[in-house]
Each structure stands twice: as C-alpha cells, then as structure tokens.
Amino acid sequence: MGNRTEEVVDALRNWWEVKTSRPERLVLAISGGADSVALLRGLLLLAQDHAWAEATEFPDSARWIVAHFNHQVRGIAADEDARWVEQLAKRHSLSFEVGTRVEIATPLILDSEKVLSEGALRDQRLAFLQAAASRHGARHLLLAHHADDQAETVLHHLLRGTSLAGLAGMRTSQEFAGRILVERPLLGLRRETLRSFLSELSQDWREDQTNSENDATRNLLRNRVLPLLKEAIVHMELERDPVESLLQLSRHSRDAQELIETTARELLRISRIEPSGDVARYHVIHWQAQLPVVSREAFRQIWIENNWPRQGLGEQHLMKLTMFLGPYERPLTGDFPGGVRVTRRREWFSIERRVDRL
C-alpha cells in the first residue's frame, strides 16, 4: 500500500470509528472528478478489511448507492461523465442512480447569458441526492469535499462578509433538512493527496474542463486569487501556504463557534418557560447575563429547532432581536423573516411563528 493510499484509507477509517451512529446504507455523491473517485476507491479499500468492517459494522458495498447528477451544462462532456461513472459503479458491482436538472422541480435561475447560477445548480444537485437517499432508506450522504475546498469556502465567506460560523467553513458532519446527514470524510486531506492516491492505484478520473475557466466564483478564487495570496506571502517573507493559513483560521473559528453554540443551547435550556401552545417563552434575566454573540446564536438556534425558514434572517435581524433583552421600559413587539413575531414583557419574552404573517 502506497503512502498516499495509506493516508486516505486511514482518514476514512478514523472518520468511521468516531461516528456515534452506524448507518446501514450509504449514498455516495460521485461526479467522476478526482475527489469523488478517490472517495469511492478509498471506501472500497476500507471495506476489503473484512475483520475491521465486521467489528465496526461498516456497511457492505452492496448497501452503497453511487449517485451522479448530470447538470447538463457541458453538453456531450456531461453525458460522457455520467456514462463513465455508471461504468465505474458497475465495475465494482455498486448500485447506480443518475439525475438530471430537468427532473428537479427547483426553479432554474438564469443570468443575462442564460447560464445556470452556481446556487441553482448546487440546490438541484442536493435535491437529487436527498431524493436518492430517501428512496433507498438512507440517511447518510457522503460528499468528497477536501481541505482545499474548505480553504476556498472560508475565503469566499471572508470576502463576502460573514459570521464566525462562516469562517469555520464546512462541517465534517451536518444534518440537512432534519432528515439527511451530510458527511465529508475527506475534509482533512489536500487535493494533491487525493490525486496522488489515485495515481498509486492507476485509477483515472474525469476532468471538468470548465474548472480552468474563471466564470464561476470558485474557479476564480482557486485559479487567480489564491495564487496572488501566495505571491503576497512571498513578498512578506513568510513561509506559509495560504491554504494552510485559511485552514488554521477555519479550525480556530470552529472551536470558538462550537463554544458559542454549546453556551447558547444551555441558555435556551435554563431560560425556557413551559410553552403555551405554539408560543415559546423565555426568562430575560438569563439572557441579560450573556454576551450578545451568545444571544444571537441562541435566537438562531430557535429558528433551527422549529424548522422556521432562515432565508432573509441576516445579521441585522439577529442584532435587532437582542434589543428585546435590554432593561424593561415598555412592551415591545417585532416581526421577523418567516412570519416570526417576538414580544417582550417585563420579565420574559415570547417568540412564535404566525401563520397570518406568511
């Protein structure tokens, strides 16, 4: 086993061994690119350790579903990618599903040049993957994001303006829509590690030629911005890789964000008053003892707990919500995105979603 092969298999093994729940089925999102092919080949190697797989309840490959989404924006090349992934799945006796954008109900967003927006494509792909998981009774969806993807995500968030959670980047494990658990077991590995791993296996992959074009934001960051940052670091006479610097920022931000989230959950627990119908009430005094950043996170968690839509719930709304926590002067009422109403009384405040406000 080559050095890179061992590194990839160890990363996957460690990811699985720390999991608290052991799924019986796995859905693998496979585009045909190097990253997703590395995920598939690494899992296959891991499954070959039968004694370990049995001891850790690692699902047999017969319970894996290879899912490929054809965006249909690269013409013949996209169709060839789909056929290539199907053949790869068949070669390893894996179930295969393919979806296309025309099968997804999500509206398409077009710009002036009639090119699908990055967000629309991402949403449709995720909708297909979620549907595939549901059809097969699977909750765990594996994506092939790696450390370089994480750095690009953090940089994108940083340039756009973001919170501490945005600087933390993608999570290794993340629940989606309360039903699907998105897993990123390769998030700690670099792009070149995955490609070297495939080379050790003599495994080819599909190259998306549009990755060299800078129309998409991600490509622009990867192809132009990060090289410029590397050049700037050289001028600063530092021996740093900008990707590693961004990953360090992500790790520190994640640590801080997890502390804030834990404190916010505890705040909700100790301040919650017995609910009355659909209205949740909280003692203000506990909130007044907390830092504003914890209060904002607690409000955000209320939205998440209740599955209220968070589109439009920005930093300015979270800042406005903290105004309901100050010294009591008079009753206050405010309306927020998603039809949510907050009311402040002397010693408590209430929060509810009003159907008549939707």
**Could you read off the pLDDT of 147-199 as tens digits, one per residue?**
999 999 999 999 998 889 999 999 999 987 667 899 999 999 999 999 999 99
* pLDDT at residue 113 tops 60: no
Lowest mean pLDDT among 65-69, 139-143, 192-196, 271-275: 271-275
Instruction: Decide: 265 and 301 in contact? Cβ < 8 Å.
Output: yes
Structure tokens at 200: 């050790």
Task: Tell me the CATH class for 3-145+184-207.
Answer: alpha beta
What span, in angstroms and rounded, lies between the C-alpha atoms of 144 and 191?
A: 10
Is it the case that residue 345 has pLDDT exceeding 50? Answer: yes
- CA-to-CA distance for 38 and 195, rounded, in angstroms? 8
pLDDT digits (tens, 9 = 90+) for 239-276: 899 999 999 999 999 999 999 999 999 999 999 997 76
Q: Tell me the C-alpha distance between 16 and 20, whole Å.
A: 9
Q: Which fold has domain 253-357?
A: 3.30.465
The model's pLDDT over 208-217, given as tens digits with 9 standing for 90+, comes to 877 777 777 8
Q: Where are the alpha helices (DSSP H) in the chain?
A: 3-17, 34-47, 50-56, 76-91, 118-135, 147-160, 164-168, 191-200, 217-220, 226-235, 242-271, 284-288, 292-305, 315-321
Confidence at 292, pLDDT banded by 50, 70, 90: very high
Rounded CA Rg of the chain: 23
Give the pLDDT mean for 317-330.
93
In DSSP terms, 349 is beta-bridged to: 282, 344
Minimal CA–CA distance to 279: which of 313, 311, 302?
302
- Stretch(es) of the chain classified as CATH 3.40.50.620: 3-145+184-207
The secondary structure element, H or E, covering residue 18 is none
Whether 144 has a pLDDT exceeding 80, the answer reads yes
Residue 21 binned pLDDT confidence (cut-offs 50, 70, 90): confident
As a residue count, the chain comes to 358
> Residues spanned by CATH 3.30.465.60 within the chain?
253-357
